[in-house]
Amino acid sequence: MTEHVSRRQFLAFSAAAAGAAIVAPARIPALDSVHHRSSNYARLPQSRGDGKRVAVMGAGLAGLVAAYELAAAGYDVTVFEARTRPGGRVWTIREPFSDGLHAEAGAMFIPEYHTWTMHYVKLFELPLVATSARDALAPVFYVRGKRVKLGGSASIEWPFTFSPEERALGASAMRARYTATDIKAVVDAVPGPDARDWPPASLRHYDTMTMAGLWRSRGASDEAVALLRLGYNDLWGDGVDTYSALSGLRDLALRQNGRQTFAIPDGNDRLPHAFAERLKDRIHYGAEVTRIDHSPEGVTLSVHSVSGGGQTQRVTTDHLVCSIPFSVLRRLVVAPAFSPDKLRAIRDLEYTSVARMYLQCRTRFWEREGLSGSATTDLPVRNIASATALQRGPRGVLQTYATGANARRITAMSGEQRLALAAEQIENVFPGLREQVEGGTSKCWDEDPWARGDYAWFKPGQVTSLWPHVAPAEGNVHFCGEHASAWPGWMQGALDSGRRAAAEVGVVLAQP
């Protein structure tokens, strides 16, 4: 199949080009003054903590924003974090790279329409870099052993055997034919996809099928599904044959609001560190909560010192904000047990397996061919990107991003085996890599004891059966995290849910 495809029509997994404009950093305001700087998002004057105690489990973005808003409103807040750093799955890797290079192990981009993420970045006066310049160089597909470069006026021969109608449509029109009508249905439905009481009855039939099943019901051939699954669509769960079409459509519907994306040039973990800087000694690191005892009178936590001789303390509080993933929460002792619906949500909600590998290269050799370093493949390493495209210097880091079964197979390998696999497969896409590699590292979220997976995903039927029970509080225990939001997998979801949890405790917050 021959087709002309522009770079803007290509939904890149991730790429960016050097030379993008950077917003200069400025002074970071203190905790007591930040809310006077943004009237649209200010805390309303009737908020006050009245000295009530609130414990927060987890110093990821959801827990941090909840603690930040609660502390600023006068609550007595204590955060317990099992790791020795803030940020959770927002983590920037700086070692073992040289020349000040870094790569993201978790959250990569900040879309312009993610209002809460943009709000706190601006509130803390963090610098931003626009990633739109990633279109300056061409991305690549590597499918069925064939390397396909996009961009320019050259014809593209896709290695798929489409039906005659699909061949006439072309890839872009196929995406519209098999998805656009259903995305519009989600956008137009009341309530909208980011509403608390979503989904409406009119959309629930989408929850009975997978994303691939939806495409096939619209007439897509198996070859069309093979094309449509490449890249972003296949990143949830174990791919388009496994996750609920309704959850996929919600994500795509929310992405219709804007195309510009940003990143924090020194690393996206500067955002959680900005929260932590303001919370300071309210955060206890190396503190793992192992048991939750709750009643109408309050909550008592058993807090284990991870590296302090194994001591366990009992901490009593009025409210608990639980921001840890359900994949970790299900291993804790809770007494009395939560409601049956909540227990089922905690037990059954799954998290996407993600394995990421990073190779430091002596030069950015791919740019000599006019390539961005971004590639979408059907290889086990799946997606490839330049992790350092927005950073200066001759060296660069190529990263891979695999999910689902591919990620689990990579996770089972040793560190050396992972990097060898990455080098072998990237060589197919960007010849010459082997002569350039200086070293690297990997991050597999399944083996992280405080994550046990990366981001939440919903099987068919679970948006209807589980989603309504993920976020609601159980007495004075409040739940937040990307899994408890309309934006699973995004910093926006963590921040939005953390604000909601703070509001449930009693903080009155303005809306955007």
Q: Say if residue 22's pLDDT is above 80.
A: no
Mean local confidence (pLDDT), 448-469 = 97
Cα–Cα nearest to 345, from 329, 323, 322, 321: 329
H or E segment and range at residue 247: helix 245-254
Arithmetic mean of pLDDT over the chain: 89
pLDDT in tens, 356-376: 999 999 999 999 998 999 999
Cα–Cα nearest to 449, from 328, 302, 312, 322: 328
Would you state the pLDDT for residue 24? Answer: 33
pLDDT in tens, 391-401: 999 999 999 99
> What radius of gyration, in Å, describes the C-alpha atoms of the chain?
23
Q: Tell me how far apart the alpha carbons of residues 67 and 323 are, in angstroms, rounded to a whole number.
A: 11
- Name the residue with higher pLDDT: 30 or 461: 461
* Number of other CB atoms surrounding residue 180 within 10 Å: 13
Lowest mean pLDDT among 30-44, 376-390, 489-503: 30-44
Cα–Cα nearest to 495, from 268, 175, 163: 268
Please report, rounded to a whole number, the percentage of residues in the chain having pLDDT higher than 90: 79
pTM here is: 0.90
Integer angstrom CA distances of residue 105 from 176, 370, 502: 32, 26, 27
Please answer whether residues 6 and 146 qualify as being in contact, where contact means their C-beta atoms are separated by less than 8 angstroms.
no
Would you state the pLDDT for residue 512? Answer: 58
Q: Say if residue 11's pLDDT is above 80.
A: no
Q: Say if residue 106's pLDDT is above 50.
A: yes
End-to-end CA distance of the chain: 46
For 262, the token pair is: 């940003």
Q: Say if residue 328's pLDDT is above 50.
A: yes
H or E segment and range at residue 497: helix 491-505
SS (H, E, C) 134-153: HHHCEEEEEECCEEEECCCC
